[in-house]
Amino acid sequence: MANEKKPGVFTGPLWTNNPVVVQVLGICSALAVTTQMKPALVMGISLTCVLAFANVIISVLRNTIPNRIRIIVQLVVVAALVILVNQILKAYVYDVSKALSVYVGLIITNCILMGRLEAFALGNKPFPALLDGLGNGIGYALILFITATLRELFGSGTLFGYDVLARFVNEAGYDGYQNCGFFTMPAAALIILGCIIWYQRAKNPDLQDK
Amino acid sequence: MKLNDYINEKIDPLFQKGGKYEKLWSIYDSFHTFLFVPRHTAARKGVQVHDSVDSKRVIMMVILALVPAALVGMWNVGYQHDLALGINDGWFMQFLYGLVAFLPKVVVSYAVGLGIEMAVACMKREEVAEGFLATGLLIPMIVPVNTPLWMIAVATAFSVIFAKEIFGGTGMNIFNPALITRAFLFFAYPKAMSGDEVFVRTGSALCNSPIEGTAVVDGFSGATPLAAVADGTFDPVTYSTMDAFLGCIPGSIAETSTLAILLGACLLLVTRVASWRIMCSVFVGGALMSAIIAAFSENAPTVAQQLCLGGFAFAAVFMATDPVTGCRTNTGKYIYGLFIGVMAILIRMFNTGYPEGAMMAVLLGNACAPLIDYCVVNSNISKRAKRVNA
Amino acid sequence: MHKTMNRNSNVYTVIYATVLTVLVAILLSAASLGLKDKQKANTDNEKKQQILQSVASKLGKEVTFENAADLWQELKMDDAMFCVNTKGEKVDGKAFDIASKSLFSAGKIIPEATLPVYVANINGVPYRIMSMYGAGLWGPIWGYLSVDPEGKVAGVSFDHDSETAGLGSKIKDDPAFANAFIGKSIFTDGKFTSVSVTKAGKPANYGGEKVDAITGATKTSDYVGIMIYESLLGYVPFIQGGTAQAGCCQKHEGNCGEKETCGMEGCQKEACTPESCGKEECKAQCGDKSECAAKAECADKAECDACKKAE
C-alpha cells in the first residue's frame, strides 16, 4: 500500500478502481440522491470533503490510535465531520439539504469512508491519504454526476432545473417531450449504474470476473 | 420441392461461413427456420427426443392461442368507441376500427423487438431466438388502446435489452419480457396507462385525432371496472359479470374477453404447451382470495367478477404459464400458481395505487420462482435422505 | 517510531477516548451554536413562504423563498397570529411554533388541540389562514388554507413528502390545482361542507363545493380532500364565529326580508345557531331513510342518524 505511486493513489479511484462501479461501495446513496443533479453534486462534494478530511485526520492520528478502539475513533471523526457538513448545508443551502434529507447523515455509514480509512489512512502518511480521499471522493462524485445527469434529463427533461428537452420540443408545437417517470425511480439508477459497469468492463477486460 | 432445393443449394452457402453475407447468417437462419421445419433434429445417438417440434413450433401454438383474444379485443376497441360516441355502425365496422387501431402497435412491437434481437444475434453470430415471436404479439395486446406507438417502441426496446438480452437472451430471462414492457410503461408513463381516457379511443382509429362532428356521450366513463374498485365506487350489482366474461368492458386491448382467453387456454392445454398445474392453481388462488375478501366486504366484487375483470385471466393463461420464468418442479408449479392468484387479488384490492394487480403478481411470482423450486427440490432431497438413513 | 506509552493499555485507551470525545463535542457545539440562527431563519422562512402562498392570489404576486420574509414583515404577520381551541375560543400559545403534525392523531384533529391562526390583512380585508395536515398516498401532506370573512376560500398552498413525481406532486407544483380552490365556499347554508376533491364529473363527497381531482392522481387528490375536511373541522367553530350569521342570513333572507335587518338580532335567535341550521338542513336533504344512509349528503353521520330517528 505504502509503495503505491502518488498519481495512482489519486487517479486510480477515478475510473479503473472506482469505488462505486468497481468496488461497488456506496450504492445506496448513489440510488437515492441522483434524481436531480444539484443534490447529486452537493452530495459528491460533501462526501469528497468528509473523506479527504477524515483520511488526513486519521492518517495524522494513526500512530496514536489505540488499536482496540480504532473503528470507534474512525466513526467519531467521520460522524463529527458529517454533522458539521450537515449543519453548514442547512444554514447555507437549505433547499439542497432538504433534497438530501437523511442521506447526508448517512455518509457516516457510507462504506467508501470506512473502507478508505481502514484500508489506506491507517497505514499511510497524511499527504497520500489526502490524495486517496480526494480521488475516491471525486470518483464517487463522478459516477453520481453521470447518473444524475441521465436521470434528470430523461426523468424531468431538465438539467440543474433548467428546461432542456421539454422547452425545445414544445416550441415546435408538438406534444413535447414526455418525462419518463421511470428515470425518477431508484430502479433506473441501478440500471444506469449497471450500464456504466457494463461499459467499463467492456473497455477494461482485466476488470472482468474470471 | 424445387424451392427448397434452390434455397439449400444457392442461397444457403451465401450465408454460411466464408459466404458473401456471412454476417447476416443469423437473420437468414431465423427466416429459414421460421418458414421451414428444420432439417436436423437432435443427434441420432443417445437418449434424446427426436422431434421437429422445436421452440418455434411451440411458440406458433401460443400465437394461435392468442388469436381469439386478439380478435375479440379488436372488436371491443371499436365497440367501446361506438359506445363512447353513442353510435352503432355494426360489428364489422367496429372490428375494422379495432384492427386499424391495433395493427400499428403489433408492427411497432415486432419491428423494434426483432430488430434488436437480430442485431444482437448477428453480433454474437447466434441463431435469432424465437421467444420474441410470442412476446411481440403479447405486448400490443396488454396495453391500453391509446398508448402512443413511440411509447410501445421505447418500452419494447427497454424490455428486450434489459429484461432479456443482458440475461443471455431467450430462455435465460428472469422476468417475463412482455410484462416488463407493461411495467415499464406503467412506471414511466403512468398517465398513459391509467385513468378514464386511455382505455377507450374516441378519435380516429389510426391516431386518435378528434373526428369532427362527434362528441363523447354525456356520462360515459372510460374507466375500467377495476379503477372503480380502487376508487371505492365499485358496485357489484351494476357491473355485469356477463359483460366482463364476453369482453365488452373497457380495458387493455386483449385482456377483456375471458371467454376468448379460455378458448386459447384450451388450445394450450390440449397441445400441452402450457402447464395446467400453473393455470389451474392461479385461478384457484384468485378464487380463494376473492372469496375471502367478498366474505368480509360488502362492496367487493364477487368471485366470478374478480376472475373475469381486468387482466387476471389473461395473466393466468398466457403470462404465468411462461415456462422460462415460471417454476419447473411440479409441486413448485402449484405453489407458484396459488401465490400469483392470491397476490393478484390482494394487490388489486388493497393497493389502490395499482388497480391492476395481475401484472405485479406475475412479476413477483417470476422473482420467487427459483426460490420456490429450490425449496421444493431441497425438501425432496431431505425427505429422501431421511428415508435412506432411517 | 518511538514508543513512550503502551498504546494498548486500558488507561491509554480510556484517556484517548475521553479526550477525543470532549474535543469533538466542543467542536460540534460551537458549530451548532454558530449556525443555529441561520438554520432557524431558513426553516422559518420556508414556513412563512407556505403560509403566505395561501394568500398569494390576493397579494397579486408570487411568494418565493427569497421574498417570503419581506412580505411577512410588510403584512405585519408577527402581530397577526394567535391560537384558538376547537371550540373557537382564543387561547394562549405561540402560533408560529406549533407543528401542525402534533395536532392530529390517527388522521383526526385532537379535541383539546391548540390550533394556530394567521391573519393576513390585505387591502383592508382580513384573511384567516389555517394550517392543515394529513396523510397522502405515500407520505404526509400538509398545507395552509385561507378564508375570507364570508367563509370563501381565498387560496391554498400544499406541500408533500413523497407523492408521485409528476402526478401527486402536482398538488404543490401545479398552480392550476391550488387556484381551483379560490372562491369556493366551505359552508353551505351555514353548515360546514368543506371543499371536496373528487374526480371530474363526480359529486362532492362532503355535499358542498368541489374541485376536480388531478388526472392520474385521484388518490392523492382524495387525500387532499380528506385533509382539508379533517383539518378544518377543528377550526369550524372559530370560523363560524365570523361567518355563521352571513351564511344563515342568506338562507333566511326570505323570512327576514332585507339583509341588514337579518344581520344580527332577529334571525339569529330563531334559527341561526350553527347546530340548528345543520339539523334542519339535514332533514330537508335526507328526505327518506334510504337516501340518507347511502349518500353522504349530510356531512356528519351523527346528524344523519338523528335525522333518521326523527323520521
DSSP string, C271-308: H-SHHHHHHHHHHHHH-SHHHHHHSTTSS-HHHHHHHH
Q: Given C21, C43, C165, which is nearest A181 (Cβ)?
A: C165
- Phi first, then psi: what are they for C125, rounded to 5°? -100, 125
CA distance B162 to A38: 28
- B188 Cα to chain A: minimum distance (Å): 4
Q: Do C157 and C95 fall into the same domain? A: yes
Please answer yes or no on whether B187 and A183 come within 8 Å at the CB atom: no
With bands split at pLDDT 50, 70 and 90, how would you rate the model's confidence at B221?
Answer: low
Residue C14 lies in a domain: no
Q: Do B23 and B136 fall into the same domain? A: no
Q: Do B131 and B29 fall into the same domain? A: no
Q: Do C175 and C300 fall into the same domain? A: no
Q: A180 pLDDT exceeds 90?
A: no
Q: Given C8, C20, C42, which is nearest A73 (Cβ)?
A: C20
CATH label of the domain that carries residue B230? 1.10.3430
Residue B140 lies in a domain: yes
> Could you say which DSSP state residue B302 is in?
P
pLDDT tens track, chain C, 311 positions:
455 567 778 889 999 999 999 999 999 999 999 999 888 888 888 888 889 888 888 888 888 888 888 888 888 888 888 888 888 888 888 888 888 888 888 778 888 888 888 888 888 888 889 999 998 888 899 999 999 888 889 999 998 887 776 678 888 888 888 889 998 888 888 788 888 888 777 778 888 888 888 876 788 888 999 999 998 888 888 887 754 444 344 444 444 333 333 333 333 333 333 443 344 444 444 444 444 444 444 445 555 555 555 54
Residue B230 lies in a domain: yes
Q: Do the beta carbons of residue B127 and residue B15 sit within 8 Å?
A: no
Q: Do B15 and B102 fall into the same domain? A: no
Q: Given A181, A191, A198, which is nearest B187 (Cβ)?
A: A181
- A36 Cα to chain B: minimum distance (Å): 17
What per-residue confidence (pLDDT) applies to B40?
59
Q: Do B249 and B294 fall into the same domain? A: yes
- Phi first, then psi: what are they for B234, rounded to 5°? -75, 135
- B194 Cα to chain C: minimum distance (Å): 7
CB atoms near residue C247 (< 10 Å): 23
Q: Given CB atoms, is C8 within the 8 Å cutoff of chain A?
A: yes
Q: Given CB atoms, is B191 within the 8 Å cutoff of chain C?
A: yes
A9-34 pLDDT, tens digit each: 888 888 888 888 888 888 888 888 88
What per-residue confidence (pLDDT) applies to B372?
95
Identify the residue with better confidence: C292 or A59: A59
Q: Do B19 and B138 fall into the same domain? A: no
Write b or e for each residue in B280-307: b if 16 or more Cβ atoms lie within 10 A of its Cβ, otherwise e: bbbbebbbbbbeebbeeeeebbebbbbb
E-strand spans in chain A?
A: 158-159, 162-163
ipTM score for this prediction: 0.79
Q: Do B204 and B81 fall into the same domain? A: yes
- Phi first, then psi: what are they for C209, rounded to 5°? -80, 165
- Which chain A residues are within 8 Å of C65, Cβ to Cβ? 94-95
Residue C302 lies in a domain: yes
* Lowest-confidence pick of B41-55, B282-296, B315-329, B345-359: B41-55
CA distance C244 to C277: 10
- A188 Cα to chain B: minimum distance (Å): 10
Do β-strands C195-198 and C209-212 pair in parallel, antiparallel, or remain unpaired? parallel
Count of residues making up chain A = 210
Identify the residue with better confidence: B344 or A207: B344
Residue C148 lies in a domain: yes
As a whole-number percent, the residues of chain A with pLDDT over 70 amount to: 90
- B146 Cα to chain A: minimum distance (Å): 15
Please answer yes or no on whether B188 and A191 come within 8 Å at the CB atom: no
Q: Provide the number of structural domains found in chain B.
A: 2
What per-residue confidence (pLDDT) applies to B181?
94
- Which chain C residues are within 8 Å of B193, Cβ to Cβ? none
Select, from the ranges A183-192, B375-384, C160-169, the one with the highest average predicted confidence (pLDDT). B375-384
Interface test with A, best of B124, B187, B207 (most A CBs within 10 A): B187
What per-residue confidence (pLDDT) applies to B390?
77
- Which chain A residues are within 8 Å of B162, Cβ to Cβ? 191
Residue C262 lies in a domain: no
* Lowest-confidence pick of A156-170, B71-85, B262-276: A156-170
Q: Given CB atoms, is C213 within the 8 Å cutoff of chain B?
A: no
Identify the residue with better confidence: B363 or C308: B363
Q: Do C177 and C54 fall into the same domain? A: yes
The mean pLDDT value for B252-259 works out to 87
Residue B43 lies in a domain: no
What per-residue confidence (pLDDT) applies to C166?
66
> Which chains pack against A, by 3+ Cβ pairs within 8 A?
B, C
Residue C237 lies in a domain: yes
The dihedral through the CA atoms of B62, B109, B320, B295 has a sign that is negative
Interface test with A, best of C24, C27, C161 (most A CBs within 10 A): C24
> Could you say which DSSP state residue B20 is in?
T
Q: Do the beta carbons of residue B200 and residue B222 sit within 8 Å?
A: yes
Q: Which of C219, C242, C265 is the last residue of a domain?
A: C242
Interface test with B, best of A178, A179, A201 (most B CBs within 10 A): A178
Residue C261 lies in a domain: no
Vertex C258 angle, CA C257 and C260, to 5°: 140
- Which chain C residues are within 8 Å of B194, Cβ to Cβ? 216
Residues 6 or more apart whose Cβ sits within 8 Å of residue C192: C186, C232, C233, C236, C240, C299
Residue C167's closest chain A neighbor by CA? A181
Instruction: Residue C52: give the domain boundaries.
Output: 48-242
Please answer yes or no on whether A179 and C166 come within 8 Å at the CB atom: yes
Q: Do the beta carbons of residue B173 and residue B324 sit within 8 Å?
A: yes
- Which chain C residues are within 8 Å of A67, Cβ to Cβ? 7-8
> Could you say which DSSP state residue B161 is in?
I
Structural domain boundaries in chain A:
6-204
Q: Which of C200, C224, C242 is the last residue of a domain?
A: C242
User: If DSSP codes are grouped into helix, strand and coil, which group holds residue B274?
Assistant: coil
Residues 6 or more apart whose Cβ sits within 8 Å of residue C280: C271
Can you give the pTM of this predicted structure?
0.73
User: If DSSP codes are grouped into helix, strand and coil, which group holds residue C204?
Assistant: coil
Please answer yes or no on whether C166 and A181 come within 8 Å at the CB atom: yes
Cell numbers that stand for B259 in this block:
371467454
CA distance B301 to A77: 59
What per-residue confidence (pLDDT) applies to B107?
94
Please answer yes or no on whether B190 and C216 come within 8 Å at the CB atom: yes
Residue C42 lies in a domain: no
Please answer yes or no on whether C35 and A91 come within 8 Å at the CB atom: yes
The mean pLDDT value for A58-82 works out to 89
Q: Do B133 and B193 fall into the same domain? A: yes
Residue C190 lies in a domain: yes
Q: Do B282 and B341 fall into the same domain? A: yes
Longest CA span, chain A: 69
How many beta-carbon pairs below 8 A join chains A and C? 64
Q: Do C66 and C125 fall into the same domain? A: yes
Calculate Rg over the CA atoms of chain B. 23
CA distance C280 to B130: 72
Q: Provide the number of structural domains found in chain C.
A: 2
Q: Do C235 and C285 fall into the same domain? A: no
Identify the residue with better confidence: B187 or C296: B187
Q: Do C228 and C298 fall into the same domain? A: no
Q: Do B19 and B84 fall into the same domain? A: no
> Which chains pack against C, by 3+ Cβ pairs within 8 A?
A, B
CB atoms near residue B263 (< 10 Å): 17
What per-residue confidence (pLDDT) applies to B231?
65
Q: Do C86 and C226 fall into the same domain? A: yes
The dihedral through the CA atoms of C73, C76, C78, C81 has a sign that is negative
As a whole-number percent, the residues of chain A with pLDDT over 90 amount to: 21
Count of residues making up chain C = 311
A27-54 pLDDT, tens digit each: 888 888 888 888 888 889 888 989 999 9
Our CA dihedral for B114, B117, B120, B125, rounded to 10 degrees, sits at -90
Q: Given CB atoms, is B184 within the 8 Å cutoff of chain A?
A: yes
- The number of CA neighbours under 13 Å toward the Cβ of A77 is 26
- C24 Cα to chain A: minimum distance (Å): 6
Q: Do C166 and C56 fall into the same domain? A: yes
Q: Do B59 and B18 fall into the same domain? A: no
Instruction: Residue B236: give the domain boundaries.
Output: 55-209+224-378
Q: Given C1, C8, C46, which is nearest A68 (Cβ)?
A: C8
Which of C204, C215, C231, C206 lies closest to C140 in space, CA to CA? C231
CA distances from B200 to B35, B89, B382, C113 (A): 37, 17, 54, 49
